[in-house]
């Protein structure tokens, strides 16, 4: 071999080696990433903790305590998403006096990332909600409320995509049927579309078109309706759709002891969680990711405590 | 030297093939698999302390509300309790009277009509009015809901249906401005009086109630079926607060609305 040849070959090989350097590292030690989802629902303006003599929830809840817990978790975890599944408004005089201003301000201070609208968030009318939005430094999503003929047109988007350390997380919102629950003069021209049908579409868009690694539904539909099993609920939503990884529920004030695992229409696991109401609990779901492809067909290890 | 170089090239070639191969099978740098999920519930307690920035931010809001809520508006000579009374309660009588008194001038001004009587629901009363000072907080405790005043038009025959509903329900729903005379043995409705006159089937009566009931809440279908409804845009709790501001002492109203004879 001529010396020139040798130089060229080694150069080419080095380049190749350089290019594969990243791959080489990953073969030796696959990279792991962790996404921490924190969530609340139906806080209903409960800013102060329950009093010590409260018969049901003594000394529970409180915005300042919730903030301390969230702060602690943020110190330990890199990739935190803080979400709320609706009914932020109504339940204490804080709402009657300030119309939701304080609720939004405190959530902004706690660095909430996203919320969906519950039926009580219409309690001061769609205009009342709109007027408080400048106090919220986080967005709202709703995929099945069509706001095109209302003041919220283009303000509330169907979904939002977050990128944390290269992991794409798509979150969409779903709201409960307003007719019969909320006065028409409050929700005005908001159109309610079937949440299960909308969810199928949303999940497909987020998983297949937008290539999200994680698809989360923020639902204010309610966990399950025993008297009307066909009524859209989180359980129905989980069973009838695919491509959703996690449903964060609200509306029914359901205190789940731990997240519930359901099978979707593809036979794959969906996690549903709801943490009661009034800011008594915070839900936490950690998703572990790896680029080690040997894990790909092994299925998920789901640990609920 | 020559031999060495050749060896190197071969091993490089092999290595590149090996790399390509292993990349193909075992790793894909841009694709991450979710292999594990952990979920749990965290109780919000005092254990982790509280965030002082948040607490300090809330403090002035809380102080302002507390000051306002604890503002003494009136005095109640007795404790008014919704659990005392079979066909009526002192607190129910008061609430219906308040809604009738404060609603009448507004309805008259807006629609040039008179409210004939008031019907609310027993379940809508959420607390007692204790003997002593009455504050804004009292009004919030008694009526935490955002219900507002609706005037519903019903013909006399529907008012009779309403009377039968009340007798069958056997709940002391708050009433004012109406007298229902009932046979004490078989509980049949004998006669209904509004403004001192016997109710006639074809006469239109205007009833003050809440938006919740006007939409058929508590199975009050007679309200739901009516197409004559006037929204007064006046919250019942605000009516109560405005009433407390107006009076010094809360009246104890004991006249019977459902009379067994």
Asked if residue B207 lies in contact with residue B230, where contact means CB atoms within 8 angstroms, the answer is: no
pLDDT of residue A251: 96
pLDDT of residue A294: 83
Strand segments (E) across A77-129: 80-84, 114-115
pLDDT at B29 over 70: no
**Two tokens at B219?**
């199975």
Count of other CB atoms within 10 angstroms of residue B173: 26
Strand segments (E) across A142-226: 145-146, 159-164, 167-175, 191-192, 214-220
Count of other CB atoms within 10 angstroms of residue B202: 7
Instruction: Tell me whether residue B198 is in a domain.
Output: yes
pLDDT tens digits for A193-213? 999 999 999 999 999 999 999
Instruction: Tell me whether residue A9 is in a domain.
Output: no
Asked if residue A244 lies in contact with residue A221, where contact means CB atoms within 8 angstroms, the answer is: no
Instruction: Tell me whether residue B3 is in a domain.
Output: no
pLDDT of residue A28: 54
- Contact across the interface for A301 and B32, Cβ inside 8 Å: no
Residue A298: band (very low, low, confident or very high) from pLDDT cuts 50, 70, 90: confident
Phi then psi for B233, rounded to 5 degrees? 50, 45
What single DSSP character describes residue A191? E
* Contact status of B45 with chain A (Cβ, < 8 Å): yes
Report the pLDDT averaged over residues B214-237: 94
Positive or negative: CA dihedral B19, B22, B25, B26: negative
pLDDT tens digits for A93-133? 999 999 999 999 999 999 999 999 999 999 999 999 999 99
**Two tokens at A10?**
């080694």
Calpha distance A204→A209 (Å, rounded): 7
Nearest CA in chain A to B64: A97
How many domains does chain A divide into? 1
Count of other CB atoms within 10 angstroms of residue B256: 14
Domain at A96, CATH number: 3.60.21.10
Mean pLDDT of chain B: 90
Residue B242: domain span: 69-260
Instruction: Tell me whether residue B20 is in a domain.
Output: no
At B11, is the secondary structure helix, strand, or coil? Answer: helix
Residue A224: domain span: 30-303
pLDDT of residue A278: 95
Using an 8 Å CB-CB cutoff, list chain A residues near B25.
293
- Contact across the interface for B35 and A23, Cβ inside 8 Å: no
Residue A276: band (very low, low, confident or very high) from pLDDT cuts 50, 70, 90: very high
Phi then psi for B171, rounded to 5 degrees? -115, 140
Instruction: Tell me whether residue B115 is in a domain.
Output: yes
pLDDT of residue B12: 53
How many domains does chain B divide into? 1
Q: What would the DSSP string read from start to end of B86-153?
A: SS--HHHHHHHHHHHHHHHHHHHHHHS----EEE--GGG--S-B-SEEEEHHHHHHH--S--EEEEEE
Question: Is A8 buried (19+), middle (13-18) or exposed (0-12) by CB count in 10 A?
Answer: exposed
Report the pLDDT averaged over residues B161-182: 96
Instruction: Tell me whether residue A146 is in a domain.
Output: yes
The neighbouring-strand residues paired with B34 are A289
Rounded to the nearest angstrom, the minimum Cα separation between A302 and chain B is 5
Asked if residue A253 lies in contact with residue A40, where contact means CB atoms within 8 angstroms, the answer is: no
Residue A181: band (very low, low, confident or very high) from pLDDT cuts 50, 70, 90: confident
Q: How many Cα neighbours within 13 Å face the side chain of A149?
A: 6
- Residues whose CB is less than 8 angstroms from the CB of residue B32 and which lie 6 or more positions away in sequence, other chains included: A33, A166, A167, A213, A289, A290, A291
Residues 11..50 of A with a Cβ closer than 8 Å to B: which?
Answer: 13, 16-17, 20, 22-24, 26-27, 30, 33, 47-49
Percentages (nearest 5) of helix, strand, coil residues in chain A: 30, 25, 45
pLDDT of residue A182: 85
pLDDT tens digits for B107-158? 999 999 999 999 999 988 988 999 999 999 999 989 988 899 999 999 999 9
Instruction: Tell me whether residue A13 is in a domain.
Output: no
pLDDT of residue B30: 62
Calpha distance A19→A31 (Å, rounded): 18
Phi then psi for B239, rounded to 5 degrees? -60, -45
pLDDT at A27 over 90: no
Instruction: Tell me whether residue B13 is in a domain.
Output: no
Rounded to the nearest angstrom, the minimum Cα separation between B51 and chain A is 5
Of chain A, the percentage scoring pLDDT greater than 90 comes to: 79
pLDDT at B5 over 90: no
Distances in whole angstroms, Cα of residue B95 to Cα of each of A256, B237, B241: 39, 10, 11
Residues 191..220 of A with a Cβ closer than 8 Å to B: which?
Answer: 213-214
End-to-end CA distance of chain A: 66
Distances in whole angstroms, Cα of residue B92 to Cα of each of A98, B73, B118, B129: 29, 19, 11, 11
Count of other CB atoms within 10 angstroms of residue A204: 15
A8/B55: higher pLDDT: B55
At B3, is the secondary structure helix, strand, or coil? Answer: helix
pLDDT tens digits for A220-236? 999 999 989 999 999 99
- Residues whose CB is less than 8 angstroms from the CB of residue A218 and which lie 6 or more positions away in sequence, other chains included: A83, A84, A85, A86, A114, A115, A116, A141, A171, A172, A173, A174, A248
pLDDT at B17 over 90: no
For helices A63-76 and A101-109, what crossing angle results, to 10°?
A: 20
**Two tokens at B242?**
């405005």
Q: Which contacts of B244-247 are long-range, i.e. CB under 8 A and separated by 24 or more positions? A: B244/B73, B244/B74, B244/B134, B244/B136, B244/B138, B244/B139, B245/B73, B245/B74, B247/B74
Instruction: Tell me whether residue A7 is in a domain.
Output: no
Instruction: Tell me whether residue B87 is in a domain.
Output: yes
pLDDT at B27 over 50: no
Rounded to the nearest angstrom, the minimum Cα separation between B36 and chain A is 5
* Contact status of A71 with chain B (Cβ, < 8 Å): yes
User: Which of B15, B44, B61 comes nearest A279 by C-beta?
Assistant: B44
- Contact across the interface for A303 and B68, Cβ inside 8 Å: no
pLDDT of residue B145: 81
Asked if residue A220 lies in contact with residue A118, where contact means CB atoms within 8 angstroms, the answer is: yes
Domain at B75, CATH number: 3.90.780.10
Instruction: Tell me whether residue A64 is in a domain.
Output: yes
- Contact across the interface for A281 and B22, Cβ inside 8 Å: no
Residue A151: band (very low, low, confident or very high) from pLDDT cuts 50, 70, 90: very high
């Amino acid at each position: 071999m001529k010396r020139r040849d040798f130089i060229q070959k080694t150069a080419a090989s080095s380049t190749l080696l350089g290019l594969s350097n990243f791959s080489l590292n990953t073969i030796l030690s696959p990279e792991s990433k962790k996404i921490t989802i924190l969530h609340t629902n139906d806080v209903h303006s409960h800013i102060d903790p329950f009093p010590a003599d409260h018969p049901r929830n003594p000394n529970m809840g409180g915005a300042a305590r919730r903030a301390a817990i969230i702060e602690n978790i943020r110190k330990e975890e890199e990739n935190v998403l803080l979400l709320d599944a609706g009914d932020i408004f109504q339940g204490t005089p804080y709402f009657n006096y300030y119309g939701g201003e304080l609720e939004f301000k405190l959530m902004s201070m706690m660095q909430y990332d996203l919320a969906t609208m519950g039926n009580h968030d219409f309690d001061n009318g769609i205009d009342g909600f709109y007027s408080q939005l400048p106090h919220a430094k986080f967005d709202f999503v709703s995929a099945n409320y069509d706001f095109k003929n209302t003041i919220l047109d283009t303000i509330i988007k169907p979904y939002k995509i977050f990128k944390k350390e290269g992991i794409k997380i798509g979150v969409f919102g779903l709201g409960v049927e307003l007719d019969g629950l909320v006065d028409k003069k409050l929700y005005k021209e908001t159109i309610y579309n079937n949440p299960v049908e909308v969810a199928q579409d949303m999940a497909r868009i987020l998983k297949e078109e937008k290539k999200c690694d994680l698809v989360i539904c923020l639902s204010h539909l309610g966990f399950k309706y025993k008297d009307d099993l066909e009524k859209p609920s989180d359980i129905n939503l989980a069973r009838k759709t695919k491509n959703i990884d996690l449903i964060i529920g609200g509306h029914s004030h359901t205190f789940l002891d731990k997240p519930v695992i359901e099978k979707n229409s593809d036979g794959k696991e969906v996690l549903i969680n709801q943490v009661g109401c009034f800011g008594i609990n915070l839900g936490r779901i950690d998703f572990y990711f790896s680029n080690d492809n040997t894990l790909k067909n092994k299925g998920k290890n789901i640990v609920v405590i | 030297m020559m031999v060495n170089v050749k060896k190197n090239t071969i091993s490089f070639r092999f290595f590149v093939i090996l790399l390509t191969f292993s990349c193909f099978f075992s790793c894909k740098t841009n694709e991450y698999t979710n292999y594990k999920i952990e979920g749990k519930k965290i109780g919000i307690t005092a254990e982790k302390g509280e965030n002082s920035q948040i607490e300090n931010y809330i403090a002035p809001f809380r102080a302002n509300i507390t000051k306002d809520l604890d503002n003494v508006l009136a005095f109640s000579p007795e404790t008014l309790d919704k659990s005392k009374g079979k066909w009526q309660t002192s607190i129910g009588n008061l609430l219906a009277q308040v809604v009738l008194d404060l609603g009448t001038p507004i309805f008259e001004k807006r629609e040039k009509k008179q409210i004939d009587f008031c019907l609310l629901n027993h379940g809508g009363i959420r607390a007692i009015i204790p003997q002593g000072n009455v504050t804004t907080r009292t009004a919030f405790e008694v009526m935490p809901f955002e219900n507002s005043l609706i005037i519903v038009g019903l013909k006399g025959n529907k008012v009779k249906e309403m009377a039968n509903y009340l007798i069958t329900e056997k709940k002391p729903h708050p009433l004012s401005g109406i007298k229902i005379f009932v046979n004490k043995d078989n509980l049949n409705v004998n006669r209904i009086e509004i403004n001192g006159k016997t109710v006639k089937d074809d006469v239109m009566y205007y009833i003050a109630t809440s938006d919740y009931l006007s939409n058929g809440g508590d199975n009050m279908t007679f309200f739901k079926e009516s197409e004559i409804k006037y929204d007064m845009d006046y919250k019942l709790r605000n009516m109560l607060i405005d009433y407390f501001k107006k009076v010094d002492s809360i009246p104890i109203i004991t006249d019977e609305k459902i009379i067994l004879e």
